[in-house]
Amino acid sequence: MKIAVIGARGQLGSDLCTRLAGEVTGLDVPEFDVQQRDRVEAVLGEILPDVVVNCAALTNVDACEDGIDQALAVNALGAAHVARAAQRLGAAVLYISTDYVFGKDTRRRQPYTEDDPTGPVNVYGASKLAGEHLTAIASTRWTIVRTCGLYGLAGAAGKGGNFVETMLRLAGEDKPVRVVSDQRVSPTSTRELAGKIAELIQVGPCGLLHVAAPDSCSWHEFAQAILDRSRLGVSVEPISSDQYKTRAKRPALSALAGTRLADVGVTPCRPWSEMLYDYLDARRRRTAAQSTEVRQTP
């Protein structure tokens, strides 16, 4: 099977390129830009993939508020370019979306399922929701995967790292660590998600799916678990969203419940704590290996 992974240098894309079986071609900016329709069609036409995985996105939520045109150009219109090109080639397309397509229902107390009505509260979420719709319109062989709170060893290029790395950095600066406690999410590692996507590709196009940790926590709880597991002896101060102002509004609840994975024969993700512990262990091994390489360099 020939697979094209768009956004291959990102934290999910890099894990996908490692995890996927078959002939995998990684594509990313600046050589490959989903905003350039002719370029998308030409490059995919040369590769002739059986499946196109579209991880390309502007994921800096606050920057999207001030860059609406760019957010729509990449997250929405870019998704249409990819899906349309895949359709013309007879390839299936898998589009990576987000929990931020939800949030308008302020009374919500349970994680969102695939059947729940969407309602984004920021430009990023709206642009990704538009990307979902355009992907489904342009292709007859599509899968849309919504996920939540991604973190991976490659970091997120648009954010300069990820939440886990940010917490570890702040803890090392000997300053108070303050994290919002009134926003609940389903933190998911890109390594785990890449494995589930690999399974979904083998299943074939299967519509809309939520693929994220099956349980939820607040960002504060997640941060404290990161530092506790890392044995840094740092306490995280819980604060409210009102105390931590951001350019873009965040949902109070955007945790996801995946009700359709079992229907297509794919097991759910593991609990968020298990994924986090594996990530931190892998991070320690990588750091140790890098230190060894430095010592051995003449």
Which has the closest alpha carbon to 99: 134, 68, 61?
61
Residues 123 and 101: their CA atoms lie apart, in Å, by: 10
3-state secondary structure of 79: helix
- Amino acid identity of 76? A
Residues 277 and 270: their CA atoms lie apart, in Å, by: 11
Residues 85 and 32: their CA atoms lie apart, in Å, by: 14
Calculated CA dihedral for residues 91, 94, 95, 96, nearest 10 degrees: -150
Q: Known catalytic residues?
A: 124
Who's near 13: CB < 8 A, 6+ residues apart? 5, 6, 7, 26, 28, 53, 55, 154
Residues 55 and 94: their CA atoms lie apart, in Å, by: 9
